[in-house]
Amino acid sequence: QKEVEQNSGPLSVPEGAIASLNCTYSDRGSQSFFWYRQYSGKSPELIMFIYSNGDKEDGRFTAQLNKASQYVSLLIRDSQPSDSATYLCAVNKSGGSYIPTFGRGTSLIVHP
């Protein structure tokens, strides 16, 4: 089992819809969870981080964490074509260095 798994996509949604991106992880002791956005040919950019079970909202973005089920999600409301990018999930390892492990990313396409 990969440490951090994401569906590679592409996930295609119409403009204005809710995009739902999912990530599962294997380390039960993980405490910190991050979502990054990466446009083609650019570097990753931090969108959100979440530490506690439940939802965390920032503008059109909502991160959802369920530690019991070991998944973290990112919802993008009112999706725009400018949201088209690859979204990377990162999960900190428990114990030791706490270096995050990155998933391979989900490609999102928002079509007009």
Partner 1 sequence: NAGVTQTPKFQVLKTGQSMTLQCAQDMNHNSMYWYRQDPGMGLRLIYYSASEGTTDKGEVPNGYNVSRLNKREFSLRLESAAPSQTSVYFCASSERQGVYGYTFGSGTRLTVV
3 state DSSP class of 11: strand
Residue 75's beta-bridge partner residues? 20, 62
CB closer to partner 1, 28 vs 111: 28
> Minimum Å distance from CB 104 to partner 1?
4
CB closer to partner 1, 71 vs 102: 102
CB closer to partner 1, 82 vs 97: 97
Binding-site ranges for partner 1 (CB under 8 A): 32, 34, 36, 42-46, 49, 88, 90, 92, 97-100, 102-105
> Minimum Å distance from CB 85 to partner 1?
14
- Measured CA to CA in angstroms, residue 64 lies from 78, 97, 99 at distances of 17, 25, 21
